Structure 1
Amino acid sequence: MGQEESRLTSRQSVKKSKKHHRWIILALFIILASAGSAIAYYMHAISPQTHFNHLKTIGTSKNALSGYKEKSGVFNVLLIGSDQRKQNPQGHTDSIVLIHVDLTHHRYNLLSIPRDTRVYMQGQGYTKLTSVQFIGQLKDGTKKGITDAVSAVSNLTGVPINYYAETNYWGFRSMVDALGGIKMKIPFDVTLTHPWNKKYKNMVIKKGTHNLNGTMVSEVVHERDSLPGTDFGRQRLQEEALIGIGNKVMQPQNITKLPALSQSLSKFLIATNLSTSDMISLGLGVKSDYHPRNQIHYYQLKYQSVVMKDDVLQAQNDEVVLDTKQLQQVIQQHFMN
């Protein structure tokens, strides 16, 4: 091959090489642009204002939907603490907290509903709220039990409910331990009269702020008999536990754990309809402006303890009848807008 032909071949090779590199750069650009679009779409999709919009409700009656105006970034969650044990799939509803989440204005209104509240069970008659889930589970399985409980609360309050999350002693304990424990304010002395673990019998947790692991938080929020106002006292402890958990989750080092935590929900929750993307979007929405003492508002209801006929259990039962006027007032002011 002559010198001229060699130079020509070399120039052609350089041109092919440059052309090849251009194609590589173009391909990389397309891949990166596509990835960027996918990331942008995903971030838009999990943005609270986009994600929490046009939501479904669970077992909601027409009564619960009347007067309620859905807003983007606003929804209702029912938290249920169950006495369900590992060896028995059925459980009674032990604690009930209805949460009105407003991610637009960063308001979180919580309403505790006593477990013995008299409610109407569709097609069955009147019974205690704590029995609704158990009866539904016995007849039609776990999911029906939880949706029956959600429906009963929705019909009682007139509030449409979008999400639910149920935990038990072991799940709640695991959740707190996964966060490395929490700092919890104890508003009064707590004596553990009926602990899950008998070795803590009559143990006293003094009024003040304590660093507690999952076991102790679970024992504290389970206590009732030694507390001022019994159920009212338990509700205050539940509020402080939720604030403690929220504070710990929102710490910068724990925000990055949200996806992993949400994928481990089965360790903490018996049942929920919250998806991984729901959890991440909720975490992002709360994190953007989180001041729990100013933003979390806890409401308790007045009631009368009476003995009444339980239509479902066919027996006279101790039941709680809520102050209807106060209930309606709290719902209208804090859960309907």
Structure 2
Amino acid sequence: MKKFLKVLIIAFICFVVVMTSGTYIFLNSISKGDSYSHEKPVSEDALPKKKERVNVLIVGVDAKDSKSSKYARTDTIMLATFNPDTKKIDLISIPRDTRTVIRGRTKKDKINHAHVYGGINLSMKAVKDLLGVPVHYYVKINYTGLAKIVDDVGGVEVDVPMDMHYYDPKADPPLKINLKKGRQVLDSNKAMQFLRFRKGYINQDLGRIDAQHTFLTALADKLLKPQIITKLPKLVKTFNTYVDTNMPITTMTSYALQAKDIKLEDINMITIPGESKLINGLWYYIPDMNKLQIIIDEIFNETYDRTKNVNTKKDTDLKKTTIEVLNGSNISGLATKIANKLRKEGYNVINISNVKGIKYGQTHIYDRKNKLDDTKKIADLLGVKEIEIDINMEAKADITIIVGSDLER
């Protein structure tokens, strides 16, 4: 799990880099219409035309260089599908332990073994057979590119939720973590410390997942800003060093131009449905093929409701989001009024109290545990224009609201 999440971040980032750097590569003639190599695996499917949907397999390999990654197991497997008409990207994540058919094997196996048996070519075929859709191109990366990307963009600003201290001289490379709590810009070294730390979270891996999601969002958002154009020369060099793809530069350029206005909210991340199961002493992820087929059909027929993953929550999900409402206005009963309003909407208010010593004219809403979607919905509900991210996995509530006198209406 710890390696998978690290490479997942790299895979997502490298796809963003592909879409944003294609034009620069083309204009600077790094390659005059050719791919990076003349000996790349070719899709067995007909390639899409300019305005047709394109599907790109993204695999992350936990290896230090391209040589050692050639037939290594893939830690991350994702299919990125981009519709030039809607300007939407769907990233379909496939757990590496997914039990599926691999061509040439007599029995079902873990899908990440396909790369061991037949390299990226067999991986493309395995994903095609599982999802039932064509795979046109691939992007393969190794995790060491992440540190370089962080430095290329000038570091990434995150709020470190706690002091992080850990040392493991036997790790490869040796792991020494020494970070102070608070908002700060992480360089490549500190970013790797932040991403690899997991001992201090109350809920261990889940806390680490939340922290890594915060980092991913911050970095992806930075890569999608217009100012990134000044960083493209460095990013392109990193791309050439750490990324292997069979997508020609001219094709990459075409899609980059079509996707140039994509925002973070236009990228939808989905994990194929299923459950873990122990078979003959080994753990597998067993996909629910009926549910998967419905999702694939909806995505490719443009009937998939993306809001159910981002903006819309069922009542049962809302009840899982805990909220504390603190009265900072000195207006008696105002916090209770706001709490009751939230409860009517299905939210779980676990604490109503007062803030002592300070009078707040404006209301502050804090996302404490990576509940960004709910935080935004609550802000809209209360008419608060801005939210604040102050991650603290040890906080009692997922979201903290300090009610100001501006809500007296």
- Please indicate the TM-score interval, normalised by the length of the shorter structure: 0.5 to 0.7
Aligned length: 258
The corresponding residue for 1:247 is: 221
2:116 to 106, 131, 134: 134
Structure 2 residue aligned with 1:157? 131
Residue number in structure 2 paired with 1:16? none
Greater C-alpha Rg: 1
Aligned to 1:88, the other structure's residue is in SS state helix
Q: Does 1:111 align with 2:92?
A: yes
CA offsets 1:137-188 (integer angstroms, 9 cap, x no match): xxxxxxxx01211211111111211221111121232233222233468999
Give the equivalent residue in structure 2 for 1:275.
Answer: 248
Contact 1:81 1:94 in 2 (8 A): yes
Alpha-carbon distance in structure 1 between the residues aligned to 2:258 and 2:239: 19
Aligned-residue offset at 1:122? 0.3
Query: How many Å separate the matches in 2 of 1:133 and 1:322?
Result: 19
- Greater helix share, structure number: 1
CA distance in 2, matches of 1:99, 1:228: 30
Q: What are the superposed Cα offsets for residues 61-110 of structure 1, whole Å, 9 maximum, x if unpaired?
A: xxxx9xxx977152111211111234834421001222111232221111
With normalisation by structure 1, the TM-score equals 0.61
Structure 1 pair 262–57 and aligned structure 2 pair: CA distance change class (3 A): same
CA contact (8 A) 1:119 1:129 kept: yes
Percent identity of the aligned residues? 27
2:262 to 290, 313, 323: 290
| 8 Å Cα contact 1:114/1:231 also seen in 2 | no
Q: TM-score, normalised by structure 2?
A: 0.51
1:185/1:209 contact within 8 Å kept? yes
CA RMSD, aligned part only? Answer: 4.2
Gaps of 5+ in 2: 1-25, 28-40, 303-409
In 2 relative to 1, CA 283–168 (structure 1 residues): closer, same or farther, beyond 3 Å?
same
CA distance in 2, matches of 1:306, 1:256: 48
Contact 1:258 1:279 in 2 (8 A): no
Tell me which residue corresponds to 1:88.
68
Is the contact between residue 55 and residue 80 of structure 2 (CA under 8 Å) also seen in structure 1?
yes
d(CA) in 1 for partners of 2:90, 2:167 = 30
Equivalent position to 1:306, from 271, 277, 287: 277
Secondary structure of 2:81 counterpart = strand
Equivalent pair of 1:109/1:335 in contact (CA under 8 Å): no
Summarize the alignment of residues 22-41 of structure 1 with structure 2, pairs less than 5 Å apart: none
Instruction: Check the 8 A contact 1:59/1:147 in 2, yes or no.
Output: no
Match of 1:175, as an amino acid?
A: I
Aligned in 2, Cα 1:228/1:112: closer, same or farther, shift over 3 Å? farther
Q: Describe how 1:40-119 pairs up with structure 2 within 5 A.
A: 58-59=43-44, 72-86=51-65, 88-89=68-69, 90-119=71-100
Do the aligned partners of 1:174 and 1:267 also contact (CA within 8 Å) in 2? no
Residues 80, 218 of structure 1: alpha-carbon distance in 2 compared, 3 angstrom cutoff: farther
